[in-house]
Structure 1
C-alpha cells in the first residue's frame, strides 16, 4: 500500500526499481518517525535525494550530529535543507568536516547557515578544499574569529572549485596596487562577499574610484569608498554622478563629497534627486555648502530632515532660537532633540505636537 506513495502505474517494477522504492519508503518513514517530519515534508525532502541506495547510515549521522552539539530542532533543520546528509558515512566523512568548522569557532546556528548557503559543503574534500581555504584565511586575517566572520560574509567562498583561487587572485591584485598586508586584511574582512568575484570586476571598481572620482589609493578613505559602491554597477554610478552635476556640482566637489560621505553614492538616483531638490531649491544650499555637511545625505528626508526643518522655521518666525542651524538640529539623537523642544513648551505649547505630526505626515 505504501508503494503507491511514489508509484501509480500498472507496470510491474523491476527488482532494482522495487528495491529503490522500498529504500525511499524507508527513508520517508525515518524522517517521520525519528525527526518528526510531516508526511508531506518527508516526501518532499526524499525527492531531493536522487540516488537513494541505502539508509543504513541515518542513525549514525543523527548520533554524530548530536555528539557535535546539535539539538533535535537543528538536526531537523539541517536534514530538511540537505536531506542527503543522512546518507554520508558518519565517522569517516561527516564528523571530521563538522569538527573542523566547530573547532574554528562556527557555532551550530552559524554552521547551519553556512550549510544552507552551500548545500554541497560536506561533499567537499576535507584536505583538498575545506582545510586549505580555512588555513589561507587564517594566515591572511590573523585570528579564527575574523576567519569565521569572513566565512559568514562570503556567501560563495565554498560554492565553487575556483572560489578560493579568485579570492587569492584578488588579494594579489590589491598587493600589486601597493596596499599593505594590514590594509588588505581589513579590506577583506569587511568586504569578503565581493572577493569571490572575478579580478576584472575588482579592478574596474578600484580604477573607477581612483580615476573617475579622483580618490587616491593612498587615501585612508579609499576602502570606505569601495564599500559604498561595491554593490552598484559602474554605469549606475556614472548616472548618479550626472544627477549631482545637473545640480551644479563640480568634479572637485563630487570628489570631496564622495570622500567625506561615500554613502551619498549608494543612494538611488531618485533619492539623490529628491534630496538635492529640497536642499538646493527649497533651502537654497549650494554644492560647496553641502560638501561640508555630507551627513545630510545619510538622514531620512521625510522622517528627520523635513520635520526638524519645520521646527526650525517656527522658531525663526517667533525669533526664539536663531542660532541653531538645520545641520545642528538633524544631528541630535531623537531624545536629545525632544529635550530641545521642551525648552519652548511655555512659549509654543504646540511645537512638540507639530513636530510629531510632521513626522507622521511624511
Structure 2
C-alpha cells in the first residue's frame, strides 16, 4: 500500500478532526518525508473521501458569520482578495481547516502574494483536489522543486479532476507521439495545456496542420515538444489566417509545412502586429516581392524579428563601413536574409581579411553583394583557401573578385581534388566551371573533349552548400524531383 494511503487508513475516524479533514501536521509530513522522485510508483495513490465536507451543517446566518470570520482570518494572514473572487465560493466553516490549507500551500513554496493573485486556491480541498493533483504531476515527472512554479503558472490545475480533466490530456499528448520523458518539458513550457480539451482545440489544430497544410504526422510529436502552444491556438482565428497569408506571398504550402516541422514557433507570430509589418518593411528596403518566398524559406525567423529596425541599422552599417549602397544591400539580403541578424563585428572580420590581401574596398563591396555568404566564413579557413589559391593554383587575385564563392567551398573535399583533376588534364578553366557543379556533372566534364559554357546557377546556391550550425547537407544530383522539393532541398541547408 502506498504511503499516503497507509497514513489515511491508519488515521481512521478517531484521528480525524471534527470536520473530517486530515490534520495539517500529517499532510505536511507527507510532502516533506517522501523521496524527491516518485517515478518508481507504478500505480496512482489511493485517497479516502471525507464523509462530511465542512462538518456541522449551518444555517444562512451562521454561514454569513463563518464567511466574515474566514475572510478576516485570511486578511490577517496576509492574503487579500481584491477582486472578490472568494465571495462566490464556499469556504470551510472551520478556521482550523482554512489554516491547514494555508499552511500546506505555503509549505509547498507559494507565497501570500501568489495566493492573493489567485485566492481561489484556498477554496480547494486538500484531500479531494490539491494532494491528488500534485501527486499526479509528480508521477508525470514534474519535480517537487517545480511544483510551486507550476501551480503559480497555472493555479487552475488544482481545481481539476485527475481522472476527468488531466489524464485525458496526457493521453492525448502520448497519442501525438510525444515521448513520455518529454511530458514534463511540455507541461513546464505550457502548463495551461492541462486545461484544453483533447477533442476540442487540440484535435482541430492537429487536423488542420496535417490534413490541410501537409505537416507529416510523425513530426507532430517533436513540434509539440518544442512549441506546445500551437495546440491551444484556434484554427479559424490564428493558424489558418497566418498560413494563408504566408502562402499568398508565393511560398508553396508544401514548403510551409516543412518549415513548420522544423520551426513550429512560427505559428506564434502575430499576423497583424508582426508578420505583415515585417513583410512591408522588407519591401520598403528594396527586397523584391518575387524574392520574398525565398527569403522566408531561407530564414523563417525573419517574419518575427523587429525587421524594420534591424534593416535600418544594417543598411547604415553596410553603407558606412563596406561602402555598399542601399540597392546592393537589398540584393545581399535577398541572397542571405540572415544578414539582418548578423553581428556587425562578425561582418567586419572577413571584410578586413580581404582588404588585408590587397583587394580594394570597391572590389570587396562587389564580392559581398555577389556572395554575402563569405561574411559567415571562418578566417582560418579563408587563410588556407587563399594560400592554396596563390601557392598551388597560382591564379591572379582578380579571379577571387570575380568569383568570391570560392571561399564557401571546402578546401579539402572539393577545391583540392577537383583542381588536381583539372590540372592533370591540362584544362584551363574558370573557378566557376570546375567548382559550381555536382560531382556527377564534374565527372561528365572530365570525360568530355571540350569545355562547355558556364550556365547561371540557381539563386542562393552559388558558392556551394553553405554549412551552418544545425544544417543538413543534401544531394543535388536528383533531377527528377518536383520544383517544390528542389526549392526545399536547396534552402534547408541554411537552417
TM-score, L = length of structure 1: 0.68
The aligned counterpart of 2:359 is 249
Q: CA deviation at 1:248?
A: 0.7
Which one of 290, 298, 304 corresponds to residue 182 of structure 1?
A: 290
Segment drifting more, 79-88 vs 188-197: 79-88
Matches of 2:282 and 2:437 in 1, distance apart?
39
Matches of 2:137 and 2:329 in 1, distance apart?
59
The aligned counterpart of 1:202 is 311
Name the SS of the counterpart of 1:197 in structure 2. coil
Query: How does 1:43-82 map onto structure 2 within 5 Å?
Result: 47=147, 49-50=150-151, 51=155, 52-53=157-158, 54=160, 55=162, 56-61=164-169, 70=175, 73-74=177-178, 76=180, 79-82=183-186
Which one of 387, 404, 409 corresponds to residue 299 of structure 1?
A: 409
The aligned counterpart of 2:13 is none
Name the SS of the counterpart of 1:214 in structure 2. coil
The aligned counterpart of 1:35 is none
Query: How does 1:208-357 map onto structure 2 within 5 Å?
Result: 208=317, 212=322, 214=324, 217=327, 221-227=331-337, 229-230=339-340, 232-280=342-390, 283-306=393-416, 315=424, 321-324=425-428, 327=431
The aligned counterpart of 2:33 is 8
Which one of 229, 236, 244 corresponds to residue 120 of structure 1?
A: 229
Matches of 2:341 and 2:386 in 1, distance apart?
23
Unaligned runs of 5+ in 1: 32-40, 316-320, 343-362
After superposition, give the CA deviation of every residue in 1:207-265 in whole Å (9 maximum; x if it has no partner): 55577353663899544433364553123212321110000111232233234433222
Kindly name which structure, 1 or 2, has the bigger radius of gyration based on alpha carbons: 2
Is it true that 1:111 corresponds to 2:220 in the alignment?
yes
Matches of 1:149 and 1:93 in 2, distance apart?
22
Q: CA deviation at 1:267?
A: 0.4
Q: CA deviation at 1:60?
A: 3.7
CA-based RMSD: 4.3
Closer, same or farther: CA 81–250 of 1 in aligned 2, 3 Å: same
Closer, same or farther: CA 5–92 of 1 in aligned 2, 3 Å: farther
Q: CA deviation at 1:300?
A: 1.6
Query: How does 1:164-183 map onto structure 2 within 5 Å?
Result: 165-183=273-291
Q: Contact 1:153–1:192 (CA<8 Å) still a contact in 2?
A: no
Name the SS of the counterpart of 1:167 in structure 2. helix
Matches of 1:336 and 1:135 in 2, distance apart?
39
Q: CA deviation at 1:293?
A: 3.7
Matches of 1:292 and 1:76 in 2, distance apart?
55
Closer, same or farther: CA 157–341 of 1 in aligned 2, 3 Å: closer
Matches of 1:105 and 1:45 in 2, distance apart?
40
Name the SS of the counterpart of 1:145 in structure 2. helix
Segment drifting more, 179-188 vs 45-54: 45-54
After superposition, give the CA deviation of every residue in 1:284-333 in whole Å (9 maximum; x if it has no partner): 433312223434312222344345556778x5xxxxx4345694666676
The aligned counterpart of 1:355 is none
Matches of 1:243 and 1:203 in 2, distance apart?
25
Closer, same or farther: CA 293–243 of 1 in aligned 2, 3 Å: same
Name the SS of the counterpart of 1:157 in structure 2. helix
After superposition, give the CA deviation of every residue in 1:167-187 in whole Å (9 maximum; x if it has no partner): 222211123235453333332
Aligned residues: 320
Matches of 2:368 and 2:354 in 1, distance apart?
11
Closer, same or farther: CA 333–196 of 1 in aligned 2, 3 Å: closer
Which one of 154, 157, 173 corresponds to residue 266 of structure 2?
A: 157
Q: Contact 1:150–1:189 (CA<8 Å) still a contact in 2?
A: yes
